């Protein structure tokens, strides 16, 4: 659909079409351009969905971003269109905008895949499902009967029609050759994927892109950005540590109390050592243990979020420091190609040949236009009225000779194509290594820019989550501190109770009985020895 609308747009740019349509030509062209952007946005939306199904999350982001950019261009061109068109654009913006925001957020915080440049991905090719039928303006079935037929003799009118057919045949023959060559040229250029405007793209490396300049400018008026983020995370870490220490102390108190209680039970002979379940704690300690377990569970869940938040901060803090620094450091951080003199020579030669290709195209289009204009203006009706019927064929041959010169020019242009494409093939072979290096540098450059922009956009979210974490742990710290005091008091009460039980048991036990002394051994008489 996009390709057909592009063809329609080129037709509207034709000078003949413009003069025929008048003022409405601009409106039609604007409408067609709007539809080109709109359907291109829809195409990239579907490419993004396909990337999502294939779990290519970086590609998904760039396709949705491209769809959003194209839709914004369509909206700009849609000013003055009916409300139904505006409503359709708003609906599409809701769909694409939602998809892009969701994909970008998922990639920034979950997948962290590099977002490739759009021109590094395979371009979307149109699939023609219908064949356009040409319209012949001289066909009576199209134009209806000639209202001026009676102004000239019927014989002259018939002869003029025959001459028109000769001109049409000449044009068809020439156009068949041109279209055949153009098809070969288009297929060749598509396979090469060479764009004269961006074949080296060295200009972009000489300056910081506007999107990055905008972020640097925003941070320049907020010099404490990094400092505030670091301090916020340090405060969060401090509160986190305090909570963890309080909960650990409570757990230690409970374990110590349990050990003392077990020792008491063993002394009293109620529970065999190393057997049986732990003795039940006092009601006060049971409540403390229950609350401590609840706080420990909450703390463990929040600990994972806290760790992820610190990882995200460490990921972005360096980039934020870079964006807050001098622009020279930002420019130095962006990758740039290092080309040798031979590489530069290869580039210049390739660009020169590409310029030749474009010159050949332009000349071919110009000659074709001239031929069409000559044929359109060629009217020999006056000569036909005064020419005998037997001389008509000779008159046609003489009149058609006026096209010989422009046919020669076209033949030369078509013949030159083979040599130009051969030279371009040789230049492209030499360019392959340079192209690969430039593509790698451009990919790194785009990735670096996107990473820096993502770090800037993540700052507000990090600050918000850091504050939420501080609020959460401050509240938990207060609760843990109160629980710690409660645990200490309960443990002291339990220890005092154990001491009282021991004293009572000691009083119940009878005093030990006195034992008779053993008789001393008598020594045997010597004679018995």
Asked if residues 279 and 261 have their Cβ atoms less than 8 Å apart, the reply is yes
Reported confidence tier of residue 343, pLDDT bands at 50, 70, 90:
confident
Burial class (CB in 10 A: 0-12, 13-18, 19+), 462: buried
Query: What is the model's pLDDT at position 228?
Result: 66
Q: What is the mean pLDDT of residues 421-449?
A: 82
Report the predicted TM-score, pTM, of the whole model to 2 decimal places: 0.40
Q: What is the pLDDT of residue 314?
A: 67
Using alpha carbons, list the distances in angstroms from residue 492 to 251, 257, 499: 15, 9, 11
Q: What is the mean pLDDT of residues 94-101?
A: 94
Measured distance CA(250)–CA(484) in Å, rounded? 6
Determine the pLDDT at residue 526. Answer: 46
User: Which of 94-98, 210-214, 231-235, 340-344 has the lowest average pLDDT?
Assistant: 231-235
Residue-wise pLDDT for 34-88, tens only, equals 999 999 999 999 999 999 999 999 999 999 999 999 999 999 999 989 999 999 9
Give residue limits of the domains in the chain.
1-126, 153-268+282-507
Given pLDDT bands bounded at 50, 70 and 90, which one contains residue 101?
very high
CB-count burial class (<10 Å; 0-12, 13-18, 19+) for 264 = buried
Q: Which of 184, 151, 243, 96 is nearest to 364 (CA)?
A: 184
Q: What is the DSSP letter of 209?
A: -
By C-alpha distance, which of 493, 506, 505 is closest to 281?
493
Record the tokens describing residue 422, joined without a space.
Answer: 């051969």
pLDDT at 472: 72
Give the pLDDT score at 77: 92
Per-residue pLDDT tens over the stretch 173-193: 999 999 999 999 888 888 877
Least confident of 100-109, 228-237, 316-325: 228-237
Report for 240-254, 393-407, 459-473: range of highest mean pLDDT: 393-407
Q: Average model confidence (pLDDT) for the chain?
A: 79
pLDDT of residue 518 exceeding 70:
no
Distance CA 181, CA 46 (A): 34
- Does residue 353 register a pLDDT over 60? yes
Q: What are the helix and strand counts (H, E) for the chain?
A: 15, 0
Least confident of 1-10, 115-124, 206-215: 206-215
Contact call for residues 113 and 58 (beta carbons, < 8 A): yes
């Amino acid at each position: 659909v996009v390709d057909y609308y592009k063809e329609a747009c080129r037709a509207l740019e034709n000078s003949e079409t413009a003069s025929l349509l008048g003022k409405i030509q601009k409106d039609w062209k604007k409408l067609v351009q709007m539809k080109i952007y709109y359907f291109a946005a829809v195409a990239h939306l579907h490419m993004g969905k396909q990337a999502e199904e294939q779990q290519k999350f970086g590609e998904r982001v760039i396709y949705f971003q491209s769809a959003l950019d194209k839709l914004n261009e369509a909206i700009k061109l849609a000013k003055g269109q009916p409300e139904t068109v505006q409503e359709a654009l708003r609906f599409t913006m809701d769909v694409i905008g939602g998809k892009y925001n969701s994909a970008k957020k998922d990639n920034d915080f979950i997948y962290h895949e590099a977002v490739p440049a759009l021109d590094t991905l395979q371009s979307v090719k149109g699939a023609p499902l219908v064949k356009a039928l040409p319209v012949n303006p001289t066909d009576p079935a199209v134009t209806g009967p000639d209202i001026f037929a009676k102004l000239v003799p019927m014989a002259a009118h018939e002869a003029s029609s025959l001459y028109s057919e000769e001109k049409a045949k000449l044009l068809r023959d020439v156009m068949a050759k041109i279209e055949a060559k153009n098809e070969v040229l288009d297929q060749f250029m598509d396979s090469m994927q060479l764009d004269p405007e961006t074949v080296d793209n060295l200009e972009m490396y000489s300056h910081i892109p506007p999107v990055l300049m905008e972020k640097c400018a925003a941070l320049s008026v907020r010099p404490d950005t990094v400092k505030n983020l670091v301090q916020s995370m340090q405060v969060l870490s401090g509160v986190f540590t305090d909570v963890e220490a309080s909960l650990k102390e409570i757990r230690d108190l409970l374990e110590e109390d349990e050990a003392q209680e077990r020792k008491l039970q063993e002394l009293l002979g109620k529970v065999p050592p190393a057997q049986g379940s732990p003795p039940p704690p006092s009601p006060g300690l049971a409540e403390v243990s229950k609350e401590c377990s609840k706080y420990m569970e909450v703390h463990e869940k929040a600990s994972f979020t806290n760790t992820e938040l610190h990882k995200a901060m460490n990921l972005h803090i360096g980039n934020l420091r870079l964006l807050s620094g001098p622009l020279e450091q930002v420019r130095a951080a962006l990758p740039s190609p290092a080309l040798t003199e031979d590489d530069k020579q290869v580039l210049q030669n390739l660009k020169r040949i590409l310029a030749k290709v474009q010159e050949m195209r332009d000349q071919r289009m110009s000659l074709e236009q001239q031929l069409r204009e000559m044929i359109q203006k060629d009217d020999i009706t006056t000569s036909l009225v005064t020419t005998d019927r037997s001389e008509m064929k000779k008159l046609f041959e003489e009149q058609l000779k006026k096209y010989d010169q422009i046919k020669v020019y076209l033949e030369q242009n078509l013949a030159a194509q083979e040599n130009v494409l051969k030279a371009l093939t040789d230049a492209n072979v030499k360019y392959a290594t340079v192209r690969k290096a430039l593509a790698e540098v451009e990919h790194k450059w785009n990735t670096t820019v996107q990473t820096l922009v993502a770090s800037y956009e993540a700052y507000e979210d990090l600050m918000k989550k850091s504050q939420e974490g501080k609020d959460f742990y401050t509240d938990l710290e207060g609760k843990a501190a109160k629980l710690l005091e409660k645990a200490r008091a309960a443990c002291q009460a339990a220890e005092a109770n154990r001491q009282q039980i021991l004293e009572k048991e000691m009083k119940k036990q009878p005093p030990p009985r006195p034992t008779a002394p053993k008789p001393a051994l008598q020594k045997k008489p010597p004679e018995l020895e």
